[in-house]
Chain A
Amino acid sequence: MTAPAPRPAPPSSLGDRLFALLAQASGAFVLSVAVALVGVLLYQSWPALVRYGELKVLTSSDWNPSENAYGALLFVYGTVATSIIAMLVAVPLGVGAAAFLSEIAPPRVRKITSFLLELLAAIPSVIFGFWALEFLARRGLAPTYKLFGFDNTSGEGILAAGLVLAVMILPYITALSFDVCQAVPRAQREGSLALGATRWQTIWKVVLPYARPGIIAACFLALGRAAGETMAVTMVIGNAQYLNFNPTATGDSIPSLIAGQLHETGPADTTRRAVLVSLGLLLLVIALVMNVLARGFVRWLSKPRAHKARPLNLTAAPPPPPDAARTARAIRRAARADKVMTGALWVCQFLTVVPLFLILGYITAKGADQVTAAFFTNLPNDTPPGLHHALVGSVTLVGLAAAFAIPVGLLAAILLSEYRNNRLVAPVRFVSEMLGNVPSIVVGVFAYAVLVYPFWLSPGERGFGYSAWAGAFALGVMMLPVVIRSAEEAMRLVPNSLREASYALGATRRQTILKVVLPAALPAIVTGVLLAVGRIAGETAPLILTARGSQFVARSFADATPSLPYYVYDFATKPSEELKNLAWAGAFVLVVVVLCLNVGVRLLAGKRVVAAARAD
């Protein structure tokens, strides 16, 4: 009798448990970041919130902190007015362009346009601001105002800020609306066309009504984004602190106020600081409410809807046969309307991509010549000046942020995709989606309050100060939701049969994830991560409050760290030609880097989908 062959020992479960623990810890970390963000903002603004009525923050527009007047109504108005102008311009154009792309455009046009829209969405907001200041305000609106006799010689103001916001949210609205238009079932269109409707009638009466909830959701998301935008607005709104309801007047907005004043509130300025943070909290609430509303609309869309049929009245006399001449007229009219509206949609589509060429063209014309060797090797005080320190600093900040966000984000995504029964999954998914919609300036306020000048310090103690740590933390928090989302989506695309095969061969869950799922999902994950890097590389608003700038190359992570977008912003308003040319050169280099990342990633990944919105 032979002894039975010894069984191979089962793989140790310790590693597996540790791995699961690690994924859970990452998920818990994401949760705690979100909780801390809300908690810190609430705690910091509490002294103001309890006195909101007394300070008249939302009822007065008398903003004069040195006289203890904290009426912030004018900033709220500036934020609301610019957002409304942006929506009024961007929604018709964006929805028109989406309808055109989805229903009319030949595949080639659709492909090219969606690619261009993705590029437009990838341009950093400080570039929009610089372009809007130099081109839109000074060369576009100023002469127009002069022509119509408005008292505004600089062209800056609420209208300028609203228009640049419109350009910024256009790709967002277009991409999301395009997606919902595509989701309209084919049968709906075919039914409409079979009944003899023209293409325009089909779009207007069938496709758009069917897609309406999704389009409304897209508008809410875009509105949330417009309200939280900092750089582009602060550069063109005029920074004038009075309330004037004329759209050609100058004004100011909440994010612009925070970016300009939070870091000048010292320990004595507790009330001003609390009011500023409370306004940041207001931005956060606006963004989250918009997001929740959007989700509500999407849920409404996904519900099957059945309309009750109109009762047929068989006893009534049949309607008289239509008059042939009238029918012919109606058909002609419909054909004419079809032609006109098709043309109008063409124009919408055209207008959504025109700004991209205006921006790229203007930045290239101004900046391409200015990129010299000195730009890469010299410091701002050298002759000729350069931005070497900012380039090194940007790489440092983005690298540090990525080193923090990629592992955490990847593990959290593994939790979401591979441990779906875990109790943490639902809250982590919710929170990471919300984090993705937090305005960047709010993340900056958070990092400032936690690292730069920690709120728990008593007077006289030192925090991290302006440092790469603080800047990278802010950027990392912004990058986290993007990494989580793209990695989770990538892993979900891995067919289940692969996992089943792995388990069948006796692999543990950890082995399956590390050896099967991750390698299969890697290209898509890398694509997502690089897009996220491209996005944070151009981020400016949180860096103003955290990493700040410096005249030298940062020597450690504890030093104030200059960055390229920060210096584009700083040098954009320099009277000296030399420094201003540096800003142009910096803008050009920044755009080239960000666009190369986008184009390169897409070419390598081999798919060009309309996903400008999904890349955030």
Chain B
Amino acid sequence: MRRVCAFAFLAVLPFVLGCPGDKQGSGAAPRVSAGGATFVDPIMQKWSGEYKKAKNAEIDYVAKGSGYGISNVTSKNIDFGCSDAPMTAKEVEAAKAAGGEVLHVPVTIGAVAVIFNVDGVSDLTLTGEVLADIYLRKITKWNDPKLAALNPGVPLPAADIAPVCRSESSGTTNIFTEYLSKKSAEFAKSPGTDKKPKWPEGVQGKPGNDGIAEQVKQVPNTIGYVEAAYAKTSGKPSAKLVNRGGKPVAPSAAAVTAAVEASVKVTEKKEPYSLHPLAFSFTDADGDASYPVVGASYAILFKKQPKDKGAVIAEFLKWVVADGQMFATDLEYAPLPADLTKKAHDLIGTLSFE
């Protein structure tokens, strides 16, 4: 009996001691709760770490997909969200009802790499049409004649292709399906461009860019689409995609920058890009050096911000679009063009605090 009591006491003790209580004194670093896209997660965590060192503010970014970012900003569960797909008209309307106007601040630009896991193959060239057929499950074998024609001399096996998609609402999926929809009329009809479209049978889902990267890394004969930083951590090769100029291009910071330079000139008239001043579609860009599947990630926040946290967020975002861009290339992202940095800076300046 006494032994049991002593044991119980010892077991409960850590709970009592471990309770954090309300220790948030005036000296503690301010903490911003953020979340959303996994596309920006690698660089966002880097920013979070660097910013804590530089300005003593904690950016608590939890990656759960762009759809999560958009809906949780709208319901004010988080202070700002990130999404690689700009809000649609319907989402903007819901946000207006909840807290007024929302701003889209581009924070980084990156390539969506197509990674694959095929024994003995490290170099693969694909076209948008073939990639669309793979995700439509019309091409189901690695040694399909269409693949073989694009890759002469590559020892493609007779194995089944196992395409992997995202299981949650994802901006990376939006970029990828936008590209495939531009390339294949059939794909545009169904599944179409969406954060979470209805994939055909045989496409397996995984949560997050990391989920796809890990699946492709571990399971043979898979193919998946991830932000280039994840392609690097997975250690699996990325396919070269044939761009508008007919050149096969690998996803690299230079190829992304080329695509950005070609696209920024074009003012996008289509929704959802037309709804936001600094939203661009970078997919299937002109130019021989451009990688065709490129997207930006946006920090999404209400224009009206609370006084205390709003100022911290504005400071952080200003730092991100300027100083923060120097970490981009190392992590396989492309830095924002100087012009866009300035525009983003001005956009952040329009935030109002109350």
Contacts and interface: CB of A to CB of B under 8 A. Distances in A.
Contacts of A138: 218-219
A556 interface: yes
Contact of A154 (B24, B68, B169, B222): B222
A380 B45 CA distance: 9
Interface in B60-107: 60-62, 64-65, 67-68, 70-72, 74-78, 90-91, 93-94, 97-99
Output the residue of A238, A264, A459, A523 with the most chain B CB within 10 A: A264
B22 A396 contact: no
Nearest to B94: A268
Contacts of A463: 75, 77
A266 B48 contact: no
A99 interface: no
A587 to B, nearest CB: 15
A407 B301 CA distance: 42
A399 B16 contact: yes
A239 to B, nearest CB: 3
A234 to B, nearest CB: 9
Interface of A: prevailing SS: loop
A559 B77 CA distance: 11
Contacts, number: 216
Interface string B181-203: 00000000000001111111111
B31 interface: yes
B61 A238 contact: no
Nearest to A524: B4
A319 interface: no
Interface residues of B, number: 84
Contacts of A465: 33, 76-78
A605 B221 CA distance: 53
Interface stretch (A330-338, A495-503, A546-554): A546-554
B155 to A, nearest CB: 18
B167 to A, nearest CB: 4
B220 A381 contact: no
Nearest to A556: B22
B162 interface: yes
A55 interface: no
A574 B210 contact: yes
Interface in B1-47: 1, 3-5, 7-8, 11-12, 14-16, 18-24, 28, 31, 33, 45
A550 B62 contact: yes
Interface in A566-616: 573-576, 580, 597, 600-601, 604-605
B217 interface: yes
B33 A560 contact: yes
A203 B64 CA distance: 53
Given A153-B222, A463-B77, A465-B77, A267 B206 contact: no
B204 interface: yes
Interface stretch (A62-70, A76-84, A223-231, A340-348): A62-70
Q: Which are the 8 A-B pairs with shortest beta-carbon distances?
A: A266-B71, A399-B15, A268-B94, A239-B205, A575-B213, A239-B167, A395-B18, A459-B98
Given A529-B8, A575-B230, 10 more contacts: A63-B198, A151-B202, A252-B205, A261-B169, A263-B64, A398-B15, A399-B14, A400-B19, A552-B58, A601-B7
Interface of B: 1, 3-5, 7-8, 11-12, 14-16, 18-24, 28, 31, 33, 45, 48-49, 58, 60-62, 64-65, 67-68, 70-72, 74-78, 90-91, 93-94, 97-99, 140, 159-160, 162, 167-169, 194-208, 210-211, 213-215, 217-222, 230, 233-235
